[in-house]
Structure 1
Amino acid sequence: MKDPSSSKSDCTSTSHSSQSQLPREADEVALATNTASSAPLDQSIKRKSVVRYPILDILLAKNDPKEADRAGMPSDSVRLSQWKELRRKALPGQNPTDLVLVYAPTGLGGIEITARDYNRLEPGEFFNDTLVEFGTMRAFHKMQETNPTLAEQVHLFSSFFYSKLRSPLPSEGYQSVRKWTSKFNLFDKRYIIIPVNEDFHWYLCIIYNPKGALPPQMPPPRPASVITKPVMGQNQTKTIEVVDLDTDGEMDIETATVTNSPNACTLFVLDSFSRVSTNALRKVLVTYLLNEAIDKKLVGSEWDDHELEKWFQDHVVPEVAEVPRQQNFCDCGVYLVHFAEIFLSNPEKAIGYMMERGQSNSADESIWNKSGLKMQRITMKEEIDRLAVEWKAAR
């Protein structure tokens, strides 16, 4: 599988080119040792540590308990010596690339979790693609075990799916993932789950009822710009701003009247940091659904290209879900996995909640289990420990 060192991490403001300039772990320990007994850290170091240097969060926590809470650390782990002990226990082997577990629930391929990946489950560490893949795939596998019929209505894409789609040329982006759906019709699924890493930030996308975006075989006369937006058990009309794709490919913002319908295709964005541009995201995924429909010959040949673009644009409705917000800069991957677990445990309940609540100002504890977020890292660690024992025994 991929080199873990190249895995995506979340919620850091640095670019790939600057990652090589960050201090190595040994340098971080030395820096921490030299400053552990000093006065409260300089504010410039404090600002950098939240984003770049998780180990410094330990020192910040020693001087300011509020920072320990922001970093998601329990109160008994704020001392450097205790952090070192946690670090030692988190690495089962001497080599960070040692395999801890190969998770292959279907028997084909597998997710390779190394000691370096496992260490990212510690408080203050950023999730990479390996942990996101494991967390989401494990939740989906549990659904397959408990409700295989419902699981047939779900498709879970890899965390690399969206990054491949974001090619400068949309046709090239689609070609890179075209064969991923060669054995099934994506539009027959009711729920499409897409983990997204964009600008080093993780969030979750769910496409509900993709079949609702398909046009009839014959193009109708062009009506006024009307978009159907599903709200369970309601039949209402409201006005929203939507993104339009011009003939030159540029995006415009226009006002459209939205009629609620349970048969529409809805793109839900579950972002714990409230920083996602739904316009750009929607453009990429609308283009993907359009290309997928054309490639699988689900669109009549009488459609004009521009009219077909407009149809898909008007029938894929963006909806920013009201979800719990992270309180630090390192937990967006944790939140993504948690949202996926909650959704897959009861998709219809989650969809109904997200549609009805809309832009409410509070995320309901009864649906999102916010208290469970604090245990997410520990729960995943215990799950990997248990599965690792079984995997090693079967080797």
Structure 2
Amino acid sequence: MQSERPSLKEKNYSSISMRRKGSSITPGGVRPMNTLTIPKRSPSDNNHSEALEQHQHRSSASEKYTNSPPTKSTHESIVEKSKQIRERLAGLNDGHKYTKPQTLPPIQPSYSHEVKDCCDIGVNIKFNNLLEPPLVILQLKSFSFNGNRVKNNGKSNYVLSVSSNNKFLFITKDGKILDKYLIHRQTQLKSLAFSDDSVLIELQNQKGLIVATHYGQDQHLREYFNNHHEWNVDATKTIKDIELVLSRVKRAEQVHPVASTSPPPKSSIFDPLKNMKTTTPTRITRSNARQQMGGETEASPISIDQDDSVPSTTGGLWEDDIFQDDDFREHETPAPFVPDLKYQFPGNKVFTITATDFKTLYNNDWINDTVIDFFIQYEIDQALKANPKLDSNDIYAFNSFFFTKLTHKTTPQEAPDYYANIKRWLSKIQLMEYPYVIMPINEHAHWYGCIIRGLPDLLKVAKEEAEATTGGGHHPDQDHKPRKYVCEIFIFDSLSHKHANIKLPLKRFIIDYCKDIYNLNILKNQIRVVNARVPKQNNFNDCGIHVIYNIRKWINNIQECEKIWRTSHSSTQIQVSKTLFLAEERNGMRKQLINILLDLHAKQEQHTEIPKLQEDEDDVIFIEHRSTKPEEKPVEHQTVTTNYPKTLDPRVQEKPNRPNRPNFHNSELNVRFGERQVLNIGVTMLNELFPDQFAALPITIIENVQLFL
């Protein structure tokens, strides 16, 4: 029987198919040969084929290099070709038409590297010393130029800097100067003003306004301008309402558009009358002429120069200063606060407020944790006096270090053991007996807080479920469903951040605490986390103030606040929230807190002995917070204590044998490494390397210093 399968010669092998896939079937462009259907070639055929290929190769080479000598044989042609290639590469072959390329001169320190200034004019970077480290810097959150806004997305670093030669003000992105954000002090800067969280830069010749929004820490820049009067900047004043100034600028731009720095369109070149503006004819008077010549204006009782309904083309609001005298408030000088305030609350809780702590309440500074811990306890004490229904055993407040200790981890890679971190801390209290627990939290230089309510109910439900499980002998998932949301955690943040990362630590330490102390199992879904709706802060400085304010409103209106927080998306509750959280109260909180401390300080008896509490090594924690405002001169030549705060736990005094902190000349090194224990030789070396106080250090240098320390 004849097989229906094709023979080997008739079979189509993909590996020897003439149709090629891609640029090459095999590496190097080698073409496979069909040895099945093509008869074998004789040695003479092979020699003929090789000679033909060599002839084709020589022909192509001769077309490229017309003066190549003829090839005598295959071996000699290869040798000759290799020699020619070596000679060409070395530039030594005069027989070819190949000429040696001219070597370019080495790159000299050129002055061709330019950046566009705010007037779109090229400015040489190296000639103007713009590559040198700036004298002072300010980290920016966002900035805008005539409405074109650039926002920091967290991936780039935007900085407002003063050049090393004290002539330029510019904005950089990751160390590179941005085009159109370079301002010359003498010719382009008209005025500069500060608000609580922004720097407003007005340009000459109606070029516009640059608004640089920062994170509220502008004390170094203010101090620099106060010490360098050539900038003509009064940094002691602060704009009260930046929105009022911006609305004024917007109205001025509608009347007098900002002068454009871009070239005119082509249509205006060929049609000179197209963009011509018509104006009402004016009558020239002595006062008008004197004003145009730059002299003083002459008052005239009758306006006959121009119709008021027509906008002026030579004057107006935009040409005048955009800042008015009533836009500013003066820089606040802290009241005398010597000696320190030592205040004792019920339960022998002693707080010490120094002049340095007190100073943070002025000039919209960031208040530190000592002030926050004090006023949380103060608000609790005042609420207990005003509301007889509240008991001192109903509310417990952790200090501001508790959450930092809770989430502490030994190495960045490992997961923190939440309960083990604060186990000894919790051994001093009966946590589950407090219906309300207050916890201030500081993360990434931002203050917010949380309130835990219902811990006794959670413990009661857990005991009942344990008894039901043991009595019936069944697994709780079979016949008994645990109650949900027995305990609630309200998280309130004046920047409306959700903080999903803190849910696990808060739930975990409660669950592990109940398991360790009561041998009870708590389920995660029995603890509910609620993002409470609270008023939003208007700047980047008042987060700590809002924490105190929100606790004050809650502790005096517990039911109303919790109802609003549970149903915050309801339109009715939003209206109720506005009537409960008043803007006037929030705006006056700093002044109220200052007055409270001054009143307590005045009533303090200077020689009252306060019992000294015993120190606990777990509670002695030295915080890494430094003053954010320049030190004020002591009043009446009295020495003001400037040590920051002794510990985050207000019940504990500072250990007297703590090593001295390093004193670096450079302010950025002080901020980053001022709390470390550094040998004197290391401090001396770094001060020799970085002697300038306000010099900005690149991130690479900071990393190297960190490795060195």
Which structure has the bigger radius of gyration? Answer: 2
In 2, distance between residues paired with 1:39 and 1:222?
75
Kindly indicate whether residue 39 of structure 2 is the aligned counterpart of residue 39 of structure 1: no
SS at match of 2:191: coil
**Contact 2:241 2:327 (C-alpha < 8 Å) held by counterparts:** no
Provide the residue aligned with 2:491 in structure 1: 269
Provide the residue aligned with 2:560 in structure 1: 349
**Contact 2:407 2:416 (C-alpha < 8 Å) held by counterparts:** no
Provide the residue aligned with 2:594 in structure 1: 381
For residue 362 of structure 1, report the CA deviation from its aligned partner.
Answer: 3.5
The one-letter code of the counterpart of 2:381 is H
**Contact 1:143 1:151 (C-alpha < 8 Å) held by counterparts:** no
Q: 1:198 to 1:352 in 2, by over 3 A?
A: same
Provide the residue aligned with 1:195 in structure 2: 440
For residue 64 of structure 1, report the CA deviation from its aligned partner.
Answer: 8.5
User: Which piece of structure 1 moves more, 219-228 or 279-288?
Assistant: 219-228
Provide the residue aligned with 1:154 in structure 2: 395
SS at match of 1:192: strand
Q: 1:143 to 1:39 in 2, by over 3 A?
A: same
2:217 to 44, 47, 52: 52
The one-letter code of the counterpart of 1:78 is F
TM-superposition CA deviations, 1:324-346 (whole Å, max 9, x none): 00111111101000001111113
Q: 1:163 to 1:45 in 2, by over 3 A?
A: farther
For residue 222 of structure 1, report the CA deviation from its aligned partner.
Answer: 6.6
In 2, distance between residues paired with 1:197 and 1:222?
42
Provide the residue aligned with 2:129 in structure 1: none
TM-superposition CA deviations, 1:271-308 (whole Å, max 9, x none): 1001242x211101001101211232251xxxxxxxx5
The one-letter code of the counterpart of 2:597 is I
2:477 to 221, 230, 243: 221
Q: 1:326 to 1:62 in 2, by over 3 A?
A: closer
Structure 1, unmatched stretches of 5+, are 1-11, 14-21, 24-30, 230-263, 300-307
Kindly indicate whether residue 365 of structure 2 is the aligned counterpart of residue 125 of structure 1: yes
TM-superposition CA deviations, 1:57-106 (whole Å, max 9, x none): 88597678416999xxxx97936xx31xx22xx0526xxxx643122213
For residue 150 of structure 1, report the CA deviation from its aligned partner.
Answer: 3.4
Provide the residue aligned with 2:531 in structure 1: 320
Q: 1:156 to 1:387 in 2, by over 3 A?
A: same
SS at match of 1:151: coil
Q: 1:358 to 1:115 in 2, by over 3 A?
A: same
Q: 1:119 to 1:187 in 2, by over 3 A?
A: same
For residue 393 of structure 1, report the CA deviation from its aligned partner.
Answer: 4.4
In 2, distance between residues paired with 1:68 and 1:108?
49
TM-superposition CA deviations, 1:213-245 (whole Å, max 9, x none): 44332461279999834xxxxxxxxxxxxxxxx
The one-letter code of the counterpart of 1:391 is Q
**Contact 1:60 1:68 (C-alpha < 8 Å) held by counterparts:** no
**Contact 1:91 1:116 (C-alpha < 8 Å) held by counterparts:** no
Q: 1:60 to 1:92 in 2, by over 3 A?
A: closer
Structure with the larger helix share: 1
In 1, distance between residues paired with 2:476 and 2:437?
28
Q: 1:315 to 1:385 in 2, by over 3 A?
A: same
The one-letter code of the counterpart of 2:394 is Q
The one-letter code of the counterpart of 2:434 is K
TM-superposition CA deviations, 1:238-275 (whole Å, max 9, x none): xxxxxxxxxxxxxxxxxxxxxxxxxx211111110012
2:383 to 139, 143, 148: 143
**Contact 1:321 1:354 (C-alpha < 8 Å) held by counterparts:** yes
In 2, distance between residues paired with 1:104 and 1:187?
26
In 1, distance between residues paired with 2:540 and 2:419?
32
In 1, distance between residues paired with 2:374 and 2:607?
19
For residue 133 of structure 1, report the CA deviation from its aligned partner.
Answer: 0.8
**TM-score of the superposition, structure 2-length normalised?**
0.39
Alignment: residue pair count: 308
Provide the residue aligned with 2:348 in structure 1: 108
**TM-score of the superposition, structure 1-length normalised?**
0.66
Structure 2, unmatched stretches of 5+, are 1-139, 142-159, 162-168, 170-184, 193-199, 203-208, 223-233, 247-324, 470-474, 609-709
Provide the residue aligned with 1:365 in structure 2: 578
In 2, distance between residues paired with 1:153 and 1:394?
33
**Contact 2:441 2:448 (C-alpha < 8 Å) held by counterparts:** yes
Provide the residue aligned with 1:282 in structure 2: 503
